[in-house]
Amino acid sequence: MRIQTKYLGEVELDEEQLISFPSGLPGFAEETRFVLLDLLGNPVFQILQSVATPDVAFVVANPYHFYLEYEFELDTNVKENLLIRSEKDVTVLSIVTLNDPFEKSTLNLKAPVIINPTTKRGKQYILNHEDYSTKSLITQPNSSEAKGV
């Protein structure tokens, strides 16, 4: 299958690459099928691209690359919906807001994107506590601290 993407032009996909977000993403409830695309030469950032709508695409990154002590618990409902049985069934990504200069770019640590790479099911999980921000700086003096901003 071929799809048009926001950042990479037209790309060829295999059906097994598709990730189902049964509830969509907040603000994009109708967007239920996405694909995670790598950026050539950039192992840190990826694109979470809607299969249906080329303009719906998010730059994402593994938050642990920037915040080593980032942690939270998934509730039972999320684990059941995504068929999570163990840690290997969990991939955590944060949506990135790119700013100029790059050092002012932020990660959304308040609402991580959770994907089960085995079942190809995902959900954006909004954390119930105030420990993390939707605009945590991507670069900061002590990158092990995610709180604040």
Answer whether residue 81 is part of any domain. yes
Question: 37 lies in which domain range?
Answer: 2-137
Check: pTM over 0.85? Answer yes or no: yes
In a domain, 144, yes or no: no
Q: How far apart are CA 11 and CA 51, in angstroms?
A: 10
Question: In which residue are the tokens 């684990």 written?
Answer: 79
The DSSP code for 5 is: E
> How many structural domains does the chain have?
1
| Other C-beta atoms lying within 10 Å of the C-beta of residue 129 | 8
Residue-wise pLDDT for 114-140, tens only, equals: 999 999 999 999 998 788 999 999 986
pLDDT digits (tens, 9 = 90+) for 14-30: 999 999 999 999 999 99
Indicate left, alpha or beta for 34 from its phi (over 0: left) and psi (-120 to 50: alpha).
beta
